[in-house]
Amino acid sequence: MSLSAGDLDLPDAPLLADLEAIAVDVARSAGRLVVDERPDAVEVASTKSTTTDVVTVMDQRSQDHLLARLREARPDDAVLGEESGGASGTSGITWVIDPIDGTVNYLYGIRQYAVSIAVVEGDPDPHTWRALAGVVVNPASGEVFAASAGGVATLDGATIAVAPPVELSQALVGTGFGYRAEIRVEQAKALAGLIGRVRDIRRQGSAALDLCAVACGRLNAYFERGLNPWDHAAGSLIAAEAGARVTLSPGDGRARALILAAEPEVAAMLEGLLLELGA
């Protein structure tokens, strides 16, 4: 997408650039923290929705670090974080942060986790907010994915784009599963109907990095049901500015929202199949 900020009735481009620069700086500093101070035996501080939905001490330390840096840089903005202890604001701008996305990977020493920061305008609701800038840092690899609204998506400063369209049978598709066993069982049933219709499946364990993988062509598509806003806030903007069609279906009484990101032709084919499979 190459529209300018003015075309999209967005804040001035300099503000967007400043917000992106703050997000890059703060996310990289938190990334250094979670790598440099990762103990050999990562301590689980608590659990959330299930006994496998863990919060490590480093999740909380990363969020505390992000909160302090963002309050210092933008004191009037709100902060919505995955872990307890966000912040209210008066500016109408909210920073949506995931201090470690892919926490279980981090716990096990699997080098596929991210610090994710998005900055949005409006209510902190992913169905209504306007994403202004987003940054996803993989602290283990040092890769920095970034984008601002109406601009370009970048990896380490170089412009990135989604892979060209392919037939579904040639599509490498990422996905993920919920923390509740009974939900994973249902998700696996839908996946059983999909896996023979695509090239292959990848379950990498970090929604933020999966969305960035679509943005740079490492995946042809990514979908997942039941994510939290902080999991996908930044990666969705990066994927969209890289040319992906990103949709977030409204959750209903039966299930939580379904996110789908892919090159538009692939997205249209996959969307219908996911609906057919009840994914």
Minimum distance from residue 135 beta carbon to ligand LIP (Å) = 16
Kindly provide the b/e burial profile for residues 97-106, where b requires at least 16 CB atoms within 10 angstroms of the residue's own CB.
bbbbbbbbbb
Contact between 83 and ligand LIP by CB under 6 A: the answer reads no
The footprint of ligand LIP on this chain (CB under 6 A) covers a number of residues equal to 14
Q: Which is nearer to ligand LIP, 155 or 208 (CB)?
A: 208
**Residues 97-116 vs ligand LIP: string with x where CB under 6 A?**
-x--xxx-------------
Q: Which is nearer to ligand LIP, 11 or 205 (CB)?
A: 205
**Residues 241-270 vs ligand LIP: string with x where CB under 6 A?**
------------------------------
Q: Which is nearer to ligand LIP, 231 or 241 (CB)?
A: 231
Q: How far apart are CA 147 and CA 165, in angstroms?
A: 22
Contacts to ligand LIP from residues 224-243, by CB under 6 A: 224, 231
Give the CB-nearest residue to ligand LIP. Answer: 176
CB atoms within 10 A of CB 114: 34
Kindly give the pairing relationship between strand 258-262 and strand 245-248: antiparallel
Contacts to ligand LIP from residues 126-185, by CB under 6 A: 176-179
The answer for 122, left when phi > 0, alpha when psi is -120 to 50, beta otherwise, is left
Q: How far apart are CA 218 and CA 120, in angstroms?
A: 26
Q: Which is nearer to ligand LIP, 98 or 271 (CB)?
A: 98
Minimum distance from residue 14 beta carbon to ligand LIP (Å) = 32
Q: Which is nearer to ligand LIP, 151 or 205 (CB)?
A: 205
Cα 181 from chain centroid? 23
Position of tokens 């040319």? Answer: 243
Q: Which is nearer to ligand LIP, 3 or 44 (CB)?
A: 44
Minimum distance from residue 91 beta carbon to ligand LIP (Å) = 26
DSSP characters over 117-181: EEEEESSS-TTT-EEEEEEEEETTTTEEEEEETTS-EEETTEE--PPPP--GGG-EEEE---SSH
Binding site for ligand LIP (CB under 6 A): 82, 98, 101-103, 176-179, 205-207, 224, 231
